[in-house]
Amino acid sequence: MKLTVLYDNEALEGFKKGWGFSCLIEKGGKRILFDTGWDGKKLLYNMKKAGIRKEDIDIIVLSHDHWDHIGGLTRVLHPKAEVYLPGSFSKRLKKEISEQARLHEVNGPEEVLEGVHLTGELGSRIKEQAIAIDTGNGLLVITGCAHPGLEEIVRAAGSFGKVTGVMGGFHGFNEIELLDDLDMISPCHCTEEKIGILERYPEKAMQCGSGLSMDL
């Protein structure tokens, strides 16, 4: 399994940064794009830099309907792509997407591929879903912004197995000590306590950024 961050507030040398988040998950011969950042041009630039064409993407998962997570969508849609989005997305947006790709509305927990789960919609004011991937050493949970609360997301993902890592936007999460038992932490995008998390866990916290790639 390989994971590549394609869009983030920070960037490695040679890649572009922007407000938002997107990452590519390669598992079981499939490529899953989780969120699409805000600026589609920057997303495509980073994809090209990473050697990824939009036609290579089998599945697109959208966490929630904020533009810093879906703004680049039109740049990567293609007829063979399957798009999994929360059922709370507007009817108009769902119609537009369904005209360019195969649409799947997600409301409850769902397994997209073997070892790849979606939490389904969580939260009340801002509904959001996260993705949980079996790495062979536990589950890595990837969030968009974690508006429902990182604790709630990790708790929901725990129904699929033991959570051993978290990555993505953690928003206002500040109970940092709750991460003590995890093996891998990578705060990205809108994480307010990013510096505190990186300083508390120097051996297992990883600086996020466009271009970050890892084999898991």
Q: Coil, helix or strand for 87? A: coil
Q: Which tokens belong to 101? A: 């790709």
- What average pLDDT score do residues 181-197 get? 97
Mean per-residue pLDDT for 97-101? 96
Q: What are the distances in angstroms from CA 7 to CA 37, 59, 133?
A: 6, 17, 19
CATH of 2-215, one of 3.40.50.2000, 1.10.10.60, 3.60.15.10, 3.30.930.10: 3.60.15.10
- Distance set, CA 69 to CA 61, 177, 200 (Å): 10, 28, 28
Mean pLDDT of the chain: 97
Read off the pTM. 0.97
What pLDDT does 99 receive? 96
Provide the pLDDT confidence category of residue 165 given band limits of 50, 70 and 90.
very high
How far is the C-alpha of 78 from the C-alpha of 81, rounded, in Å?
6
pLDDT band at 90 (very low <50, low <70, confident <90, very high): very high
Digit-coded pLDDT (tens) for 119-159 = 999 998 899 999 999 999 999 999 999 999 999 999 999 99
Average pLDDT over residues 51-63: 97
What residue ranges do the domains of the chain occupy? 2-215
- As a whole number, mean pLDDT of residues 61-88 equals 97
Residue pLDDT, tens place only, 22-45:
999 999 999 999 999 999 999 999
